[in-house]
Structure 1
Amino acid sequence: MEDALEIIQAAAITQTIPMELPDEDLLVEIEEQLLLPIPSGLRSFLLNVSDLVCGAIEPVTVCDPHMHTYLPEVTAEAWDNGLSRSLIPICRIGLGYYCINQEGEVLLWQAGELSDESWESIWEWALDVWVNS
């Protein structure tokens, strides 16, 4: 994870108005809204890099409920669109979502079904997809 953090931080785009990182208390509130635990990989991702912008795609955030990337809203939308309630979206992509399961594996859901694409962890996904988008 440390290597991934360094690569992501180096690839981040400087922002005029920086975003905030959440704390554990906020993540507990988000879990209560979702009625699901946040997988440990996603928890770590949110705590460490959810304030960064890299590339063209935008992972979920949790600090500003007015953002279009706000995790509870993106999750409600994804579930309404047919994503299994056992999965949590981490990023909207076109009409689909990258999502994470409770084991920490990241999957691609498009056109109402899971594709064959997957990543063992959110950090692997971040380096392979997010940073390069």
Structure 2
Amino acid sequence: MKTKLDHVIKEIKLLSNNEKMNVAAPDDGLIKQYEIELGVDFHDDYKKVLKEIGNVFYGTIELLTLSRDKNYYRELSSAVKDAKDMGVPDNWLPICEDNGSYYCILPNGEIRYWTPDGYSDESWPDIASWIKNVWIEGN
């Protein structure tokens, strides 16, 4: 049975016309390396997104990337360090940078928007809703 996440993943693949960034989508091993390095267990839905559309190029949204050499623009571990230095809460994992602000996934799978110039109450109940509302409909 297809989930809401399966549907938005399919939709973003179709909309992107299979355009991809010049970095491979991560596999389970690379995701595990990042989890260990960052000291965070990634939410299962986020892992699925990373593996299936983590390198898709569509519109103005670009997910933070996972790469073996960590030498890629908008690489996750560098972005996490920068975000934490700016004040992003420790249990919020940035998934996308937006002009110095961050979309972050919380341990429960909720997505929150964090901005350095004040409190933001923008949130989405899950990554599927965020992909639909921000990545697809926001472009």
TM-score (norm 1): 0.90
Give matches, 1:27-66, under 5 Å.
Answer: 27-63=31-67, 65-66=70-71
Aligned to 1:115: 120
Cα deviation, residue 57, structure 1: 2.1
Answer 1 or 2: higher relative contact order, Cα 8 Å, separation at least 6.
1
Task: Output the CA distance in 1 between the equivalents of 2:20 and 2:106.
Answer: 33
What are structure 2's unaligned runs of at least 5 residues?
none
State how far apart, in whole Å, the 1-side matches of 2:66 and 2:27 are. 10
Is the Cα contact below 8 Å between 2:20 and 2:55 reproduced in 1?
no
Mapped pair 1:70 → 2:70: no
Q: 1:118 to 1:19 in 2, by over 3 A?
A: same
Aligned residue-pair number: 133
Q: Unaligned stretches of 5+ in structure 1?
A: none
- Partner residue, 1:5: 9
Report if aligned partners of 1:108, 1:115 keep a CA contact under 8 Å in 2: yes
In structure 2, C-alpha distance between the alignment counterparts of 1:48 and 1:63, rounded to whole Å? 15
Which has a greater percent of strand?
Answer: 1
- 1:102 is aligned, of 107, 118, 121, to 107
Structure 1, residues 47-72: CA drift from partner, whole Å, max 9, x if none? 11002011112111102511122111
Query: More deviation in 113-122 or 22-31?
Result: 113-122
Partner of 2:27: 23
Q: Percent identity?
A: 26
TM-score, reference length from structure 2: 0.87
Q: Is the 8 A contact 1:59 1:90 kept in 2?
A: yes
